[in-house]
């Protein structure tokens, strides 16, 4: 034993034990694992959230100097300075923060007055700043020298061309709205309109123009009609390129001097440096998104392979959770041990997942699932684990090795990646072993409990598209099947996969979930919500107004207003409303609390009357820029094509400026329109109409305008939604074949996916026991039925007639040759005597016809082809066997299927005990002598299958010494038809025989042509025989007494067959040859069907012909196949379908002879074809059964058949399809392609594929199953037919 083997055994043993453990204590283990995950993830809390948010670093103002450009950062304390703090910043930003108020407030001041004159002061301030010059010993220094000179706006920003400075210093102030032109400002009737004209309507996270110019967040600016505080704040933003302490100091001093701020507590001490991370642009996002798409595809394809479990989704989720939490754990662990991740997490994440992979999880699942089902869950898990242990360990070692190699690339990033990957792999292994295995065991246990008894046969869930894992399932299949031979298995619902094309499945999914409609609805709601919220006439302003009105501060000022009070419950300014930004000024706490009147001007009114806008400076003002969007600065600089990515800017401490204006100044600054237009009794409908008596006209007009647009937009949106819905509806209609829209279809689909719902009944839990009909010695070749009777013919030439209801054998017509030397004197002897006569006459001729050059039906199983070239070897074999017990194959131990032996009740036949056999044979001969011949009346009643007759039906030649058998007898039976009680037999010799099914006598025969009859049609007393030489013969049957079809009686045909003296007195059945189409086809006719007064022939010469039945007139020759026709279907509704050796199916219009559709169906011959009202079902040599939509010719789905059972299919109703398999028949739901039931036909039947299926009227199915026939009743279908 080598080391590897020992190692292998050890590992396997360890895994086995581990599996036992996991399956035994699932819950504690899962809890433990969860705790582990949480513990390992705990360090993650300390990590900053990933994102592109800026990083700050603060340095003291004093003695500041820009950090050195290069590499010096190592020498300092590394924890002190961030890595990026190298070199000079992109810019220094100086904000001059202006707070201004009009005080004392006067009652006859308008709302505009709150901000009009304070804003006008901005121009003055800007002037002051621009003109500031530092004069000191080193000379004069003006602003132009230190500020950041900008050259040009980006070409794409034409809109902002007049608003942002395009040359010179980058200096921003609200005055930029008016191009820094005071006159313009004064001439502007609608300030707010001007300010807001560039505001985007949608929700916006990045900086807007208003924010840029005002330098404060919108809601702090106070420029609004509804502000409470009547204090306006804005900043003048100056951008410096160089840090010039003296200049800055002088500017600050001068401004402070000019506009003193009395109670300013700002400590202008520190400089804040803000570093901006790399921007994630579209260019970066696209590859990122691509990798994530690939990742999801990978996960999808991986988890799709999870099969044969109770809950596929659950396990897939568990697998994904395993991988993800192992990643989290790896990051957490790495952080714990002091490794801080420097890589961009989002970027490397997909690669990590891909490297760690889901393979092990899948391997585990597959291996566990393929353990024998009957084992205990614990053992299954343990076995599955241990069988895959070696490969798991090997894979893991390999991956670790690869990663280790990666570690030696010595590239820091790759090393880090490898480190993460290693930790991730290990933790993934840990989780797989503990978490996933346990989840799997729970799943398996659930399945055990629920589905143990109704496990499906494995081939049902074996989707043909999945090549993976087939061997495992095959061995499983062998393990399961023998244990339940005769049970119906119902497919558990979780396995019922719809075998529809994906396209249809998508449409179904959309239709089922009404996804599109819901999405549209949700989208519309959100859209309307946004509109209502953001529109100037919308909710936001309304709410603002309400809040303002209710706030205690506003009481005094708003006293005279006619307010629709009580709309909102009176409340304190709700913090919730602070989410309504720019125009809802929420007073900062410190200012509301310190409501005391102050300022040099002094309050003129009482606190009550007018809340004095106290200008205070608190610490929060110091860094008001923090409240700006973090994209504020990057946006500003990006306008001038300066990127801040991976660079930093320095923010200088703000310079506070306080402006106090008295009412007179405010009045002076007023625009004529402000006062004049004062109060258009602003639309009474609007709540805000009377809210502010001082509301200017401008906004009012804007409101009206806004309302109209709102309605327009809403109407437009509604229309768009309707159009979309209609469009989707049309798409759905177009994509779906018509029948899906039929009533019943959708309803069924809605009701759930249980098969019982589909049919409106609960499938019976009882077992369907197939009725086995035994009696043939050789493989059964031809089958025919008319619903009441069933006729079968085997290779040996025996024809048996069975009662289709009970399965009793009614008559048995042995091969004519065997009766030649029958020694028993009986009716049969007499019958055979004339047969012998006829045979004698024709024997020489028929010999030549006995070897058909080609087989007329490709669906025939291989055995007949053996006999193809040899003249009736079958009979020889048969004769040899005739001395053996053939009725009853020895089956003493198996009473399960109700066997109906062909004749006789030799149920207790003891196998191959020859002594008893001989005894029995003698007894039966005695019986024969007593019963059958003597008691049988000359013309027995048709419905007379009592016991004695059956006994009598026992082939008398059994004991007879019929060993001398000339192979040149009659030719083998090539085709068989049954109607009423008449069997029409077409033989290879070209002889057409009409037999009485009940009595087993030959009624008439015709053998004018010696070419073998390849196909027969027997319809309404009309017989059409297609011959090997391509000719068609039309016969008509005439009876001389008008009797019901069941009672054809009479003398054998007078026409051609020699009359039998025994039956000469009975009613006559005559068979006349009415027409002959001598050369209907150039080559042998292989398919023949008749319906609706038409006869269709298909031939090897690649054509089809349509004949009229009455006068055998050829109506059409249909050309379109590129191979020999193998099968033809026609029904009463004149639907004609044909399949050929080229694998194609053609649908034809019988009325016009045109081809309706043409489908490439199979790789290989189409072996059989049938249609329902909505589909065409075809089978081919490729062992596939395909279901096509009849109207569109689109393939709906296909069913993989067992080898050699390709052609066996039958349609019971429009919904139910029967297919034959290896020793079983399966029932499928035609509409969905779901397997409903599988009926096994017997224990020893594994080797025998069900080759042929015939659907009877009472929905029983007969499949020739080797030498046996099985009758399978489908009780549920019977109910349904009732």
Partner 1 sequence: MPRLDDHFWSCSCPASERHKKHLRAGAGGLAAKVDHGAPHSSPSPRRHSASVSGHHCSSSRHANSWHHHLVQRSLVLFSVGVVLALVLNLLQIQRNVTLFPDEVIATIFSSAWWVPPCCGTAAAVVGLLYPCIDSHLGEPHKFKREWASVMRCIAVFVGINHASAKLDFANNVQLSLTLAALSLGLWWTFDRSRSGLGLGITIAFLATLITQFLVYNGVYQYTSPDFLYIRSWLPCIFFSGGVTVGNIGRQLAMNLNSSPHFS
Sheet holding 1195-1200, edge to edge: 1166-1171, 1175-1180, 1184-1189, 1195-1200
In the complex, minimum distance from the CB of residue 501 to partner 1, in angstroms, rounded to a whole number: 5
In terms of phi and psi (left: phi > 0; alpha: psi -120 to 50; beta: otherwise), the region of 697 is alpha
Give the separation between CA 790 and CA 802, rounded to whole angstroms: 5
Given a contact cutoff of 8 angstroms between Cβ atoms, the answer to whether 995 and 982 are in contact is: yes
295 or 713: CB nearest partner 1: 295
In terms of Cα–Cα distance, which of 1073, 1000, 1006 is closest to 838?
1006
In the complex, minimum distance from the CB of residue 629 to partner 1, in angstroms, rounded to a whole number: 15
Residues of this chain that interact with partner 1 (CB under 8 A) are 154, 156, 279, 281-284, 286-287, 290-291, 294-295, 297-298, 301-302, 305, 347, 350-351, 354, 357-359, 362, 402, 405-406, 409-411, 413-414, 463-465, 467-468, 501-502, 634, 638, 641, 643-645, 1143, 1160, 1163, 1182, 1184, 1186, 1195, 1198, 1200
Separation of CA 847 from chain center: 62
Q: How does 222-238 read in b/e, with b if 16+ C-beta sit within 10 Å?
A: bbbbbbbbbbbbbbbbb
21 or 1159: CB nearest partner 1: 1159
CA distances from 44 to 50, 340, 459 (A): 11, 10, 48
Number of residues assigned to the chain: 1282
Helix axis angle, 437-451 to 312-336, nearest 10°: 170
| DSSP label of 251 | H
711 or 1160: CB nearest partner 1: 1160
CA distances from 1221 to 96, 459, 487, 498, 1248 (A): 88, 10, 15, 20, 9
554 or 634: CB nearest partner 1: 634
In the complex, minimum distance from the CB of residue 1015 to partner 1, in angstroms, rounded to a whole number: 28
For residue 853, what are the contacts with CB-CB under 8 A and spacing of at least 6?
A: 1028
Give the separation between CA 329 and CA 335, rounded to whole angstroms: 10
208 or 1270: CB nearest partner 1: 208
Task: Decide: helix, strand or coil at residue 70.
Answer: coil
1108-1115 LR contacts (CB < 8 Å, sep 24+) = 1109/1019, 1109/1022, 1109/1024, 1111/1075, 1112/1032, 1112/1034, 1112/1074, 1112/1075, 1112/1077, 1114/1077, 1114/1080, 1115/1153
CA distances from 465 to 297, 307, 499, 501 (A): 18, 13, 10, 12
Give the separation between CA 565 and CA 710, rounded to whole angstroms: 26
Task: Decide: helix, strand or coil at residue 568.
Answer: coil
In terms of Cα–Cα distance, which of 835, 879, 887 is closest to 1001?
835
Q: What are 1037's two structure tokens?
A: 């049957």
CA distances from 334 to 44, 365, 399, 433, 457 (A): 10, 30, 19, 21, 49
Given a contact cutoff of 8 angstroms between Cβ atoms, the answer to whether 988 and 850 are in contact is: yes
In the complex, minimum distance from the CB of residue 1167 to partner 1, in angstroms, rounded to a whole number: 15
In the complex, minimum distance from the CB of residue 647 to partner 1, in angstroms, rounded to a whole number: 11
In the complex, minimum distance from the CB of residue 83 to partner 1, in angstroms, rounded to a whole number: 14
In the complex, minimum distance from the CB of residue 318 to partner 1, in angstroms, rounded to a whole number: 17
358 or 1004: CB nearest partner 1: 358
In the complex, minimum distance from the CB of residue 279 to partner 1, in angstroms, rounded to a whole number: 5
Q: Which element (helix H / strand E) includes 341?
A: none
Give the separation between CA 305 and CA 395, rounded to whole angstroms: 19
For residue 683, what are the contacts with CB-CB under 8 A and spacing of at least 6?
A: 689, 700, 703, 704
Separation of CA 815 from chain center: 57
Give the separation between CA 1003 and CA 500, rounded to whole angstroms: 51
In the complex, minimum distance from the CB of residue 429 to partner 1, in angstroms, rounded to a whole number: 18
343 or 561: CB nearest partner 1: 343
**End-to-end C-alpha distance for the chain, whole angstroms:** 70
In the complex, minimum distance from the CB of residue 282 to partner 1, in angstroms, rounded to a whole number: 5
Rg (CA), the chain: 48
Find where tokens 């006459």 sit. 841
DSSP string, 724-777: HHHHHHHHHHHHS-GGGGSTTHHHHHHT-S-HHHHHTSPPP-SPPPPEEEE--S
Q: What are 346's two structure tokens?
A: 């989002």
290 or 453: CB nearest partner 1: 290
Sheet holding 799-803, edge to edge: 780-785, 789-794, 799-803, 809-813
302 or 326: CB nearest partner 1: 302
465 or 964: CB nearest partner 1: 465
| DSSP label of 1213 | S
Q: Which element (helix H / strand E) includes 469?
A: none
118 or 1143: CB nearest partner 1: 1143
Strand-pair partners of 994: 984, 1004
């Amino acid at each position: 034993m080598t080391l590897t083997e020992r190692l292998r055994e050890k590992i396997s043993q360890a895994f086995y034990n581990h599996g036992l453990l996991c399956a035994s204590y699932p819950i504690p283990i899962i809890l433990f694992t969860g705790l582990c995950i949480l513990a390992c993830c705990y360090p993650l809390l300390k990590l900053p959230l990933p994102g592109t948010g800026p990083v700050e670093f603060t340095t003291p103002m004093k003695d500041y100097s820009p950090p050195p450009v290069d590499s010096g950062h190592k020498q300092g304390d590394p924890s002190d300075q961030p890595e990026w703090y190298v070199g000079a910043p992109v810019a220094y930003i100086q904000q001059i923060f202006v707070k201004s108020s009009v005080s004392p407030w006067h009652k006859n001041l308008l709302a505009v007055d709150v901000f009009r004159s304070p804003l006008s002061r901005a121009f003055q301030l800007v002037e002051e700043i621009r003109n500031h010059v530092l004069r000191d010993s080193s000379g004069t220094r003006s602003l132009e020298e230190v500020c950041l000179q900008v050259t040009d706006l980006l070409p794409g920003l034409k809109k902002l061309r007049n608003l942002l400075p395009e040359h010179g210093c980058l200096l921003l102030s609200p005055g930029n709205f008016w191009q820094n032109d005071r006159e313009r400002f004064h001439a502007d009737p609608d300030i707010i309109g001007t300010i807001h004209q560039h505001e985007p309507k949608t929700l916006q996270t990045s900086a807007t123009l208003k924010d840029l110019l005002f330098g404060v967040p919108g809601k702090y600016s106070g420029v609004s009609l509804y502000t409470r505080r009547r204090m306006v704040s804005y900043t003048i933003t100056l951008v410096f390129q160089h840090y010039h302490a003296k200049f800055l100091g002088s500017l600050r001093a001068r401004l402070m001097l000019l506009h003193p701020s009395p109670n300013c507590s700002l400590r202008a001490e520190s400089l804040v440096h803000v570093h901006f991370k790399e921007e994630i642009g579209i260019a970066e996002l696209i590859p990122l998104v691509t990798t994530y798409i690939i990742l999801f595809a990978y996960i999808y394809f991986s988890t799709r392979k999870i099969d044969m479990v109770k809950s596929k989704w659950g396990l897939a989720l568990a697998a994904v959770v395993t991988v993800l939490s192992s990643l989290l754990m790896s990051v957490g662990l790495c952080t714990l041990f002091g490794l801080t991740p420097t890589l961009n997490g989002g970027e490397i994440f997909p690669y990590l997942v891909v490297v760690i992979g889901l393979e092990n999880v899948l391997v585990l699942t597959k291996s566990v699932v393929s353990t024998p089902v009957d084992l205990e869950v614990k053992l299954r898990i343990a076995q599955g684990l241990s069988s895959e242990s070696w490969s798991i360990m090997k894979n893991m070692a390999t991956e670790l090795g690869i990663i280790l190699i990666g570690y030696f690339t010595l590239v820091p990033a790759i090393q880090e990646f490898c480190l993460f990957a290693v930790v991730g792999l290990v933790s993934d292994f840990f989780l797989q072993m503990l978490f996933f295995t346990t989840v799997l065991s729970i799943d398996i246990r659930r399945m055990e409990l629920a589905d143990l008894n109704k496990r499906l046969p494995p081939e049902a869930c074996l989707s043909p598209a999945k090549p993976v894992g087939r061997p495992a399932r095959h061995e499983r299949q062998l393990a399961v099947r023998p244990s339940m031979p005769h049970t119906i298995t119902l497919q558990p619902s979780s396995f019922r996969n719809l075998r529809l094309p994906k396209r249809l499945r998508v449409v179904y999914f959309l239709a089922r979930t009404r996804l599109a409609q819901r999405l549209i609805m949700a989208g519309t709601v959100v859209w309307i919500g946004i509109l209502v919220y953001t529109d100037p006439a919308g909710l936001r302003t309304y709410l603002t107004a309400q809040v303002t009105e209710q706030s205690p501060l506003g009481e005094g000022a708003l006293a005279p207003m006619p307010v629709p009070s009580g709309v909102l419950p009176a409340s304190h300014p709700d913090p919730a409303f602070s989410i309504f930004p720019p125009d809802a000024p929420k007073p900062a706490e410190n200012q509301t609390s310190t409501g005391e009147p102050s300022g040099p001007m002094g309050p003129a009114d009482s606190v009550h009357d007018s809340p004095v806008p106290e200008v205070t400076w608190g610490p929060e003002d110091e860094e008001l820029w923090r409240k700006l969007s973090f994209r504020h600065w990057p946006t500003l600089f990006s306008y001038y094509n300066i990127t801040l990515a991976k660079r930093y800017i320095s923010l200088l401490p703000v310079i506070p400026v306080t402006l106090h204006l008295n009412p007179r100044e405010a009045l002076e600054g007023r625009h004529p329109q402000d006062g004049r237009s004062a109060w258009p009794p602003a639309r009474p409908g609007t709540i805000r109409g009377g809210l502010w008596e001082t509301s200017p006209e401008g906004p009012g007009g804007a409101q009206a305008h806004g309302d109209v647009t709102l309605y327009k937009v809403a109407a437009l949106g509604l229309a768009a939604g309707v159009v979309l819905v209609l469009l989707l509806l049309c798409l759905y209609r177009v994509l779906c074949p018509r029948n899906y829209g039929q009533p019943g279809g959708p309803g069924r689909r809605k009701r759930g996916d249980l098969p019982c719902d589909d049919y409106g009944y609960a499938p019976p839990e009882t077992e369907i026991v197939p009725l086995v009909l035994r009696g043939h010695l050789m493989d059964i070749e031809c089958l025919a039925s008319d619903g009441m009777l069933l006729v079968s013919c085997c290779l040996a030439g025996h024809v048996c007639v069975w009662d289709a209801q009970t399965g009793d054998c009614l008559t048995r017509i042995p091969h004519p040759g065997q009766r030649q030397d029958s020694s028993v004197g009986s009716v049969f002897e007499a019958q055979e005597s004339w047969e012998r006569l006829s045979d004698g006459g024709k024997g020489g001729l028929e010999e030549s016809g006995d070897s058909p050059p080609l087989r007329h039906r490709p669906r025939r199983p291989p055995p007949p082809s053996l006999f193809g070239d040899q003249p009736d070897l079958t009979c020889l074999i048969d004769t040899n066997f005739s001395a053996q017990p053939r009725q009853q194959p020895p089956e003493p131990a198996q009473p399960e299927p109700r066997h109906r032996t062909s004749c006789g009740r030799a149920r207790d036949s003891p196998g191959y005990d020859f002594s008893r056999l001989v005894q029995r044979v003698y007894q039966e001969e005695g019986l024969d002598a007593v019963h059958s011949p003597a008691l049988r009346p000359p013309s027995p009643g048709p419905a007379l299958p009592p016991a004695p007759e059956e006994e009598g039906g026992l082939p008398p030649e059994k004991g007879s010494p019929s060993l001398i058998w000339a192979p040149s007898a009659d030719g083998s039976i090539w085709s068989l038809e049954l109607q009423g009680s008449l069997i029409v037999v077409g033989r290879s010799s070209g002889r057409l025989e009409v037999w009485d099914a009940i009595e087993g006598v030959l009624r008439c025969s015709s053998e004018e042509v010696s070419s073998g009859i390849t196909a027969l049609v027997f319809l309404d007393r009309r017989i059409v025989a297609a011959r090997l030489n391509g000719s068609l013969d039309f016969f008509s049957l005439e009876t001389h007494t008008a009797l019901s079809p069941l009672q054809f009686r009479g003398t054998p045909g007078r026409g051609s067959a020699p009359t039998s003296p025994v039956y000469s007195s009975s009613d006559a059945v005559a068979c006349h040859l009415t027409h002959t189409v001598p050369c209907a086809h150039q080559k042998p006719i292989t398919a023949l069907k008749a319906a609706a007064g038409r006869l269709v022939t298909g031939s090897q010469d690649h054509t089809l012909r349509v004949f009229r039945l009455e006068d055998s007139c050829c109506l059409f020759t249909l050309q379109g196949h590129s191979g020999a026709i193998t099968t033809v279907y026609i029904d009463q509704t004149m639907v004609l379908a044909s399949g050929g050796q080229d694998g194609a199916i053609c649908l034809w219009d019988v009325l016009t002879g045109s081809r309706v559709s043409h489908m490439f169906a199979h790789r290989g011959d189409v072996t059989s074809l049938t249609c329902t009202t909505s589909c065409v079902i075809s089978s081919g040599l490729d062992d596939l059964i395909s279901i096509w939509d009849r109207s569109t010719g689109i393939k709906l789905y296909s069913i993989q058949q067992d080898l050699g059972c390709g052609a066996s299919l039958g349609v019971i109703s429009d919904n139910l399809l029967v297919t034959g398999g290896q020793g079983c028949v399966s029932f499928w739901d035609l509409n969905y392609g779901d397997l409903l039931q599988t009926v096994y036909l017997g224990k020893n039947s594994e080797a025998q594929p069900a080759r042929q299926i015939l659907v009877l009227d009472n929905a029983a199915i007969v499949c020739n199953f080797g030498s046996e026939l099985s009758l399978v009743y489908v009780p549920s279908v019977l109910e349904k037919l009732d």
